[in-house]
Structure 1
Amino acid sequence: MARVIRARKEPIAKPKLVSRLALCDDGTVSGFVFDPQTPERHFTVDILLDGLVLKTAYADAFVPELSRQDRNGACGFAVTIEPDLLRAARHLSARLANLGTSVGHPIDLENDSAALVDLRPTCKLRWLGGLHFQGWIDSEAAVTLEAIVDGESVAQVRAVAWAHIGGDTEGDASRNIRAFDFHAPQRFADGRVHRILLRKENGEQIPATAVFVAFPDGLAGMIDVIGGYGAERLRGKLYDQLIPASLPLHDYADWRDRFPLPEPQPSPLRLAVVIAGSAGAQQTLSTLETQSHENWTAGAIDGQPLLIDSDALLEFLENAASDARHVVVTMAGVSLERNALARIAAAFDVHPDAVAIYGDLDFLADDGRLWPLAFPAFDYERMLEQGYCAHLFAVRRDALIAAIEARPDNLYRLFNCLLDQAGPLQADILHLPGALATMPKLDRAKTGSLLSAASYLHLRARGIDADITEQQGNLFPAVRIKRPFSQQRVTVIIPTRDRVSLLRRCLDSIAPAVERCGADILVVDNDSAHPETIGFLADLPRRGIRTLRIEGPFNFARLNNQAIATLDSDILCLLNNDIEASSDDWLEEMLTRLGEPEVGAVGALLTWPGGIIQHGGVVLGMNFSVAHAFTDRFSGDPGFLDQLLVAHECSAVTAACLATRRSDYLAVGGMDEARFAVTFNDVDYCLRLREAGKRIVLTPHAKLIHAESASRGSDNRANRRDRFEHELNLLRARWGEVLNDDPAYNPQLSRDGVPYGGLAWPPGPRVPRYNRPPRAGDLPLGF
């Protein structure tokens, strides 16, 4: 018989901590905690009032005084407690979550005024990968900082942009602060580890440092140069996906030289080249003479820029260019790249099904600096409101002759004639990443009227009687299109849990827009328990607002799915309870976009309460994840290439404010509540709509205020990070390479930081591409 030996259970040693707890007079509870034996360890801290846990914080914020003692310094925490709660309590304390070890000394709220100290961070420096850094400093005025790498002064950094911080937890005050974004010099991309810090003009070092490593042209490219095994290159590719590198947009000229476009395969195609306009025609003809593709015939049609005579165009095609099967059409004044015609011909060879081709362009500023006009794969909505692809394009001869039957008189109308008969044939329009030419400055007043007339005639040809209004553009013309929409049943769905002040403000602010559209409201209550909330919800039916109670843990996808199952509305508007409307036309604007049958979902432009943009569409592929666009801009900024002035296509939009048809919602199975309970459910839903052949549109003409996460807290909180990472991994598993190939984003643009903030280093694949539906991978439950 075997003898059983019981091991003695040793008590678990509690860590010997260095910690502090303080209270600021604005209600901010702050402090730090670290273990000197294992300084890299981070702790979760419970904040208690009179012995009851009120909040939980993760201690990983930067603490200046600790960094000056040659410690890591990233062990601080800060949360805000409502003044009413503090006034009603006697004692404030903190402890390690699950361990019970005290953090700092308890504070006697009735007598201890010496504890009123603020340990909140005043600045932040973040390495984004490669040589790219972002950060902020708590200052009302613009600040100039000096960047120091390994003791060497390398750059002047201007903190002139804006960012929004705070608001992670209930009662946590949010604020706008000065932000900066810069790149270290390229000589530090040497594969070695470097340390960077910042100091003010007076020589004072700000308490923020970072360690970084960068590789020339990415780690995968470096492995290719020095030689290595295939497995090592695969590891390098993964590193480059997760930690991408970038260069600033103002370095575009040097970037172009460093990453020249590959030479296209020789082509036997004969091209006809049509130049629209007299002024600048000679400049365009001179660049034709230097083309590497020599099999072409050109003709200039006299007149004003962008205007075209249909009879003269037909005469040229029938006589001088009778043997050309493909036609290149350009505005006068365009300076073609040496291989522009060769790239167009090669693209038609590889994609004979393409109806039309357009490419990226360059823009020469008044100071002589070159800037990239990096476009998306074909975007029908943006074509209508901006005409971005009509200044230089190529088209099959048969399609062009058929289009001329509509008698177009300018290039915007000539291009959209191609789509008159069968709706947006975006699957047949090819985009060539990389500049085909340098474009002259446009007269936006004249081009705006041309675009307005062209879009009106095109939509009328499709049987759509739309209202079109000219807007003030920046680089390009801009118009606003308002399609008619039939009076359909619309329901606004608002999930909520307590926080009655948010819900009250939301309902009051959206009431004019809801009434204007004859819409209904359904408030979905998820286990509210506060008496004031219960009373408020009970009174809503008297105001004509339906309520639905759904119990259980917060699952945004499930709440919407179950709510929609009770409705028979035609149109759904998913809305967060922390949304506040500032106009009465936002809902109508979103509904008019759904007047286009191919549009599956419409998103709005959302700003923080302080005016900084919180959501300008979702871009795929940022650090092999997704990111909101234009979060470094204030409301009113035109955005990259005027995107915030016109409606445009995105791969996804946030469900904080999303309009969609109920039939489309049900056809794709609604939101995936099993895999994406809280985050990425809207991204996954939009991608499945696109997989079904629908388009996703972001309209900046619908603007609302969003106090993001005010109702449920930030995903950066410690108790939610694991869930966030799990759902991100599920998104990567389902959509895979789709996340690295966003058709609404250009492969030449950066995939770190905020979208549209820099140049990809190195660029992504610059191959001809269609805007075609993505394909999801199979993702069985449990994997």
Structure 2
Amino acid sequence: MTRVIRSRKTMIAQPKLVSRLALGDDGTVSGFAFDPEAPEQRFTIDILLDGLVLKTVHADAFAPECAEPGRSNTCGFAVSVDTDLLDAARHLSARLANLETPVGQSIDLENDTTSRTDLRPTCKLRWLGGLHFHGWIDSEAIVTLEAIVDGESVAQVRATAWTHIGGDAEGGVSRNVRAFDFHVPQRLADGRVHRILLRKEDGDRLPAAATFVAFPDGLAGMMDVIGGYAAERLRGELYDRLIPASLPLHDYAGWRERFPMPEPQPSPLRLAVVIAGSSGTQQTLASLEAQSHENWTAGAIDGEPLSIDADALLEFLERAASDADHTVVTMAGMSLERTALARIAAAFDSHPDALAMYGDLDFLADDGRIWPLAFPAFDYERLLEQGYCVHLFAVRREALLAAIEAARPDSLYRLFNSLLDQIGPRRADILHLPGALATMPKLDRTTAGALLSAASQSHLLARGIHASVTRQTGNFFPAIRIKRPVSRQRVTVIIPTRDRVSLLQRCLETITPAVERCHADILVVDNDSAHPQTIDFLSDLPRRGIRTLRIEGPFNFARLNNQAAATLDSDTLCLLNNDIEASSDDWLEEMLTRLGEPDVGAVGALLTWPGGVVQHGGVVLGMNFSVAHAFTDRLSDDPGSLDQLLVAHECSAVTAACLATRRSDYLAVGGMDEARFAVALNDVDYCLRLREAGKRIVLTPHAKLIHAESASRGRDNRADRRGRFEHELNLLRARWGEFLNDDPAYNPQLSRDGVPYSGLAWPPGRRTPRYNHPPVAHDLPLGF
């Protein structure tokens, strides 16, 4: 007989909840859960139908009922449930996950005739860092809001833009809503904690609030001013990386005064300055007279805007400027900054291997306000389609003379790109000088477009490429579209999938015209689909000429694509998500034309949400010491910052939701890293490893598709996936280090607080001359 000596039963303290559960007409299940005795505690909620757990959601959204003294206002939740499931069930209930504590009152789906309440968020306010805020309000009309900080009205906010919300992260059905972006006054950067809320013009408060703290010139900068915190400065630098600050673009004039370019080192170099064009010559000459660098000789070559006479240019260089080893070429009407020539001379001194260089510019608007034209490090694709860097540049004498003799250029566009006729795009050592060298006059885009079109076509012909060139309408710069010939090649579109057969059906249906146009194949990679309808659909695909490959095991996006690539003998792979829809039949061909350049390693497409808001316009590195999609605050027909969504351009990375790459390049770098980046950031890491191998990454807006991001597997910011995502992000930081904060495709003067191109970095990043050279990865042993 066994005798029980002692027994102890562990009692789990049950939270004393204040909670609510509600159901909206659209199938939104929402509510809140709050423990008044533990106000900072957050809960994970199980949603049950007829006693079975249907979904799990984290209660960390804003809830109006929680916005009271002594309560946290982020204890709400909202999740969308298929209305067909609701119609088939009897009871809807919720409980704390892993506990039996009920949340709110259960809902009788058969007999409850009371009105349903929808707590789905109607607005959101997000602190981006510093004094910068971003958010949305569920409205079709433009809305004017008032920002209130600590009870004081500090800013008027107009929700004029659009953004896309929906799904588990935002609650409810996916939809487009009005977006806003604003900064509060600089006096609030005082190192103190502030609280901000929004209210409408009629005085009604919106259910959105945030807490923020900002430091003048960053936390590290404040430590330097105060003194005595040298040991803590590293911590301050890390804070400034993770929570960077910015200022509005329209404050650029004041920002320039606050962060002037440092005086360059004196240089003995003698410069020849060529002014091309007749209109505005005197303005440019006047700015030359004020230069801090005095060792220069200038000559004006009369003619039409942006045109150049090759014979007159040679005569000037051989006679008046025979002792100048470097030449500065500028369009007439450009007003040079006082230190422009000094900075150019100093850059040639410090970078003796530089073939040519260009710098950022300012633009003077009609109302007298100046705006920054902040460029990337050298971007060959953007040079061809936009000519962004040719309006003021400098070049070594011997290279310039050789280009003039060989190409006989008739415009600044052709003069610049003729430097690359023989050496190609990737090997060119062209230097970018961050910080404005001059103020640029307004362009005649019609004239500029004709000259750019002819110049790019002539340059490509000089390289043996017979491309078609189509002129487009630019908003600031000229814009053209280049289509290189597509060589005969075997192309396979790889589509990983798991159940969700309706997504796959729609994807295959819409991409088929483009696939057939390019004589491509499709490989559907099935990762443990179990739904009978999906299995039936997949079994029928071979009859339609579509191959399938079944791979078992946990979802690992990198592994699925790696194993697919290993089974193929195609020349080109197009990685495609199963939640992609095509709206044209030329997107694949467009991506393949960009791979016509041997040094292009991957090509990405412009992806939009179903409602037309941009979801992906390239990946920008360094946002909050992480990565971010560009232009997600724009509609698909928006030109983007400096017309970037009108022209193909380089990025450091593109998303694998739609990515074309050579199979040989894919295998050469080892494919995607399935051990370290199983689900997220594998595409960013892959693109960076391609760049390390000397390849370029190109985003083309001429290939446009619809992407219901994460419709098939859900979002990475879900409570049950945050840990995995943070782990993979830390691995990316460890492998690529400082390169994540020094994206060559992004300007160091622009903000790094979550929304690319939306503000000015405060303080700016490093503004030293830079090349678009490959990154170098750090060794990252497994297990660390």
Please classify the TM superposition score into its range, dividing by the shorter chain length. over 0.9
Corresponding position of 1:661: 662
Distance 2:272 2:378 in 1: 23
Measured against aligned partners, the alpha-carbon deviations of 1:640-679 in whole angstroms (never above 9, x if no partner) come to 0000000000000000000000000000000001111110
Equivalent position SS for 1:503: helix
Corresponding position of 1:757: 758
Corresponding position of 2:293: 293
Measured against aligned partners, the alpha-carbon deviations of 1:4-32 in whole angstroms (never above 9, x if no partner) come to x9894532222222211111111111111
Distance 1:548 1:168 in 2: 30
Corresponding position of 2:456: 455
Shift in Å, 1:169: 7.4
Distance 2:98 2:6 in 1: 27
The answer to whether the Cα contact below 8 Å between 1:170 and 1:711 also exists between their aligned partners in 2 is no
Corresponding position of 2:127: 127
Corresponding position of 1:632: 633
Distance 1:234 1:716 in 2: 28
The answer to whether the Cα contact below 8 Å between 2:467 and 2:485 also exists between their aligned partners in 1 is yes
Measured against aligned partners, the alpha-carbon deviations of 1:193-251 in whole angstroms (never above 9, x if no partner) come to 11111111111111211111111111111111111232211111111000000000011
Measured against aligned partners, the alpha-carbon deviations of 1:612-650 in whole angstroms (never above 9, x if no partner) come to 000000000000000000000001100000000000000
Distance 2:87 2:637 in 1: 41
The answer to whether the Cα contact below 8 Å between 1:506 and 1:579 also exists between their aligned partners in 2 is yes
Equivalent position SS for 1:62: coil
Corresponding position of 2:421: 420
Distance 1:34 1:113 in 2: 27
Q: For the structure 1 residues 169 and 374, does the alpha-carbon distance in structure 2 shift closer, same or farther, using more than 3 Å as the test?
A: closer
Residue 76 of structure 2 aligns to which amino acid in structure 1? G
Which residues of 2 match residues 28-427 of structure 1 at below 5 A? 28-68=28-68, 71-114=71-114, 116-168=116-168, 172-405=172-405, 406-425=407-426, 427=428
The answer to whether the Cα contact below 8 Å between 2:34 and 2:66 also exists between their aligned partners in 1 is no
Shift in Å, 1:485: 1.5
Corresponding position of 1:511: 512
Corresponding position of 1:740: 741
Deviates more, 1:416-425 or 1:65-74: 65-74
The answer to whether the Cα contact below 8 Å between 2:79 and 2:167 also exists between their aligned partners in 1 is no
Deviates more, 1:25-34 or 1:394-403: 25-34
Distance 2:213 2:423 in 1: 52
Corresponding position of 1:23: 23
The answer to whether the Cα contact below 8 Å between 2:355 and 2:428 also exists between their aligned partners in 1 is no
Shift in Å, 1:536: 0.7
Shift in Å, 1:113: 2.8
Q: For the structure 1 residues 251 and 484, does the alpha-carbon distance in structure 2 shift closer, same or farther, using more than 3 Å as the test?
A: same
Distance 2:485 2:386 in 1: 20
Distance 1:137 1:229 in 2: 42
**Is it true that 1:720 corresponds to 2:721 in the alignment?**
yes
Distance 1:88 1:191 in 2: 55
Shift in Å, 1:44: 1.0
The answer to whether the Cα contact below 8 Å between 2:78 and 2:168 also exists between their aligned partners in 1 is no
Measured against aligned partners, the alpha-carbon deviations of 1:336-363 in whole angstroms (never above 9, x if no partner) come to 0000000000000000100001000001
Equivalent position SS for 2:114: helix
Shift in Å, 1:594: 0.1
**Is it true that 1:607 corresponds to 2:608 in the alignment?**
yes
Distance 2:350 2:314 in 1: 27
Residue 482 of structure 2 aligns to which amino acid in structure 1? I
Residue 383 of structure 2 aligns to which amino acid in structure 1? M
The answer to whether the Cα contact below 8 Å between 2:134 and 2:182 also exists between their aligned partners in 1 is yes
Shift in Å, 1:69: 5.5
Residue 388 of structure 2 aligns to which amino acid in structure 1? Y
Deviates more, 1:196-205 or 1:602-611: 196-205
The answer to whether the Cα contact below 8 Å between 1:427 and 1:771 also exists between their aligned partners in 2 is no
Measured against aligned partners, the alpha-carbon deviations of 1:394-422 in whole angstroms (never above 9, x if no partner) come to 00001001111210111000000110002
Equivalent position SS for 2:176: strand
Which residues of 2 match residues 478-517 of structure 1 at below 5 A? 478-517=479-518
Measured against aligned partners, the alpha-carbon deviations of 1:144-198 in whole angstroms (never above 9, x if no partner) come to 1111111111111111111111123799511111111100000111111111111
Corresponding position of 1:576: 577
Shift in Å, 1:467: 0.3
Residue 528 of structure 1 aligns to which amino acid in structure 2? S
Shift in Å, 1:696: 0.1
Equivalent position SS for 1:719: coil
Corresponding position of 1:557: 558
The answer to whether the Cα contact below 8 Å between 1:169 and 1:710 also exists between their aligned partners in 2 is no
The answer to whether the Cα contact below 8 Å between 1:58 and 1:718 also exists between their aligned partners in 2 is yes
Equivalent position SS for 1:666: helix
Residue 61 of structure 2 aligns to which amino acid in structure 1? A
The answer to whether the Cα contact below 8 Å between 2:78 and 2:171 also exists between their aligned partners in 1 is no
Residue 643 of structure 1 aligns to which amino acid in structure 2? Q
Residue 706 of structure 1 aligns to which amino acid in structure 2? H
Distance 2:334 2:588 in 1: 40
TM-score under structure 1 length normalisation = 0.98
Deviates more, 1:319-328 or 1:221-230: 221-230
Shift in Å, 1:427: 4.7
Distance 1:374 1:7 in 2: 72
The answer to whether the Cα contact below 8 Å between 2:78 and 2:170 also exists between their aligned partners in 1 is no
Q: For the structure 1 residues 168 and 352, does the alpha-carbon distance in structure 2 shift closer, same or farther, using more than 3 Å as the test?
A: same
Distance 2:508 2:426 in 1: 40
Corresponding position of 2:526: 525
Matched residue count: 779
Note the residue ranges of structure 2 that are not aligned, 5 or more in a row.
none
Residue 244 of structure 1 aligns to which amino acid in structure 2? P
- When the two chains are superposed, the root-mean-square deviation of aligned CA atoms in Å is 1.3
The answer to whether the Cα contact below 8 Å between 2:26 and 2:172 also exists between their aligned partners in 1 is no
Shift in Å, 1:744: 0.1
Shift in Å, 1:442: 0.5
Distance 1:228 1:530 in 2: 64
Distance 2:301 2:124 in 1: 57
Equivalent position SS for 2:209: strand
Shift in Å, 1:610: 0.3
TM-score under structure 2 length normalisation = 0.98
Distance 1:344 1:656 in 2: 41
Equivalent position SS for 1:113: coil
Distance 1:718 1:543 in 2: 40
Equivalent position SS for 1:718: coil
The answer to whether the Cα contact below 8 Å between 1:168 and 1:710 also exists between their aligned partners in 2 is no
Shift in Å, 1:305: 1.1
Distance 1:168 1:466 in 2: 46
Shift in Å, 1:753: 2.6
Residue 479 of structure 1 aligns to which amino acid in structure 2? I
Distance 2:716 2:411 in 1: 50
Residue 210 of structure 2 aligns to which amino acid in structure 1? A
**Is it true that 1:782 corresponds to 2:783 in the alignment?**
yes
Distance 1:325 1:389 in 2: 21
Distance 2:231 2:174 in 1: 46
Measured against aligned partners, the alpha-carbon deviations of 1:241-287 in whole angstroms (never above 9, x if no partner) come to 00000000011111111100000000000000001111111110110
